């Protein structure tokens, strides 16, 4: 069965500047525990209110700005654009030696060209998985399959997918990744995330015939209020971003 990573507190945090209440953070992690989610990405740093959890806690680090990670984290996900791949590989190797589990996360994976670096990398097996991201929500399912197979051809056995919903295809693309044999896939509560948002994790659970009741309660009790203050999802900017495969921040400069 494919594993699930809840990225609400990290990717969703771009929407509200990570202004989650202590109670919301803890309830989000508890919902993940009760609904048998495998990983929760808590942000770019560990929230002070989080001590430990049966769920594996993940911190994201950007290759352009490598920072020390709180030892309370179980995993580090190092995110990089194509031109940062060598830095990212060094970083995951370093974090692994520090005792963390590690993910390598390829942003704008459709623009990656230097596949020989990954193919010839001798330490592939240190990764929990290699993620590829539809960073601007522009992928079609055939793009997911093509990139998945490209990574597989480089010798990676555990491949994961992170989708965005600019074109309302995060669900379809994630299903395609699962069908291709994805090790893990990402979702967020109520689809909270930049641009068109992310795959709603409560829908992913339904698709996988898993209990989503704790997430439905979480939305009702916490995330509906967050949504009213910081709306996300399908809108004109996310549409233009997805159609043109660029960051949502660039939309206003050209439209």
| pLDDT band for position 251 (cuts 50, 70, 90) | low
Q: Which residue segments constitute the domains of the chain, with CATH numbers given?
A: 3-254 (3.20.20.70)
**pLDDT for the residue 158:** 98
pLDDT band at 239 (very low <50, low <70, confident <90, very high): confident
| pTM summary value | 0.94
Contact between 139 and 133 (Cβ < 8 Å) = no
Q: What is the mean pLDDT of residues 25-43?
A: 97
H or E stretch at 58 = strand 56-62
Q: Which two tokens stand for residue 100?
A: 């963390």
Rounded Cα distance, 201 and 63, in Å? 27
Task: Report CA-CA distances (Å) from 106 to 70, 85, 167.
Answer: 23, 8, 20
The token pair that represents 244 in the structure block: 């043109």
Q: Does the pLDDT of residue 255 top 60, yes or no?
A: no
Distance CA 47, CA 177 (A): 31
Range scoring the smallest mean pLDDT among 8-17, 32-41, 194-203, 232-241: 232-241
Query: If phi over 0 gives left and psi between -120 and 50 gives alpha, with beta otherwise, what is residue 239?
Result: alpha
Q: How much of the chain exceeds pLDDT 70, in percent?
A: 96
pLDDT score for 250:
67
Residues 6+ apart with CB under 8 A from 248: 136, 166, 194, 195, 237, 238, 241
């Amino acid at each position: 069965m494919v594993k699930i990573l809840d990225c609400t507190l990290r990717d969703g945090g771009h929407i509200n500047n990570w202004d989650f209440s202590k109670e919301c953070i803890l309830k989000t992690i508890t919902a993940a525990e009760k609904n048998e989610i495998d990983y929760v990405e808590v942000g770019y740093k560990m929230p002070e209110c989080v001590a430990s959890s049966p769920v594996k806690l993940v911190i994201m680090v950007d290759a352009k700005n490598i920072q020390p990670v709180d030892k309370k984290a179980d995993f580090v996900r190092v995110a990089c654009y194509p031109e940062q791949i060598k830095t990212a590989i060094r970083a995951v190797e370093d974090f692994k030696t520090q005792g963390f589990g590690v993910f390598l996360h390829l942003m704008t994976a459709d623009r990656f060209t230097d596949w020989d670096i990954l193919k010839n990398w001798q330490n592939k097996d240190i990764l929990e998985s290699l993620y590829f991201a539809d960073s601007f929500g522009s992928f079609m399912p055939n793009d997911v399959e093509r990139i998945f197979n490209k990574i597989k051809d480089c010798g990676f056995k555990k491949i994961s997918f992170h989708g965005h919903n600019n074109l309302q295809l995060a669900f379809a693309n994630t299903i395609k990744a699962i069908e291709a044999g994805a090790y893990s896939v990402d979702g967020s509560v109520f689809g909270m995330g930049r641009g068109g948002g992310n795959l709603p994790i409560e829908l992913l659970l339904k698709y996988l015939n898993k209990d989503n009741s704790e997430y439905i309660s979480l939305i009702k009790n916490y995330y509906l209020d967050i949504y009213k203050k910081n709306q996300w999802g399908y809108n004109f900017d996310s549409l233009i971003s997805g159609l043109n495969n660029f960051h949502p921040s660039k939309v206003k400069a050209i439209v």
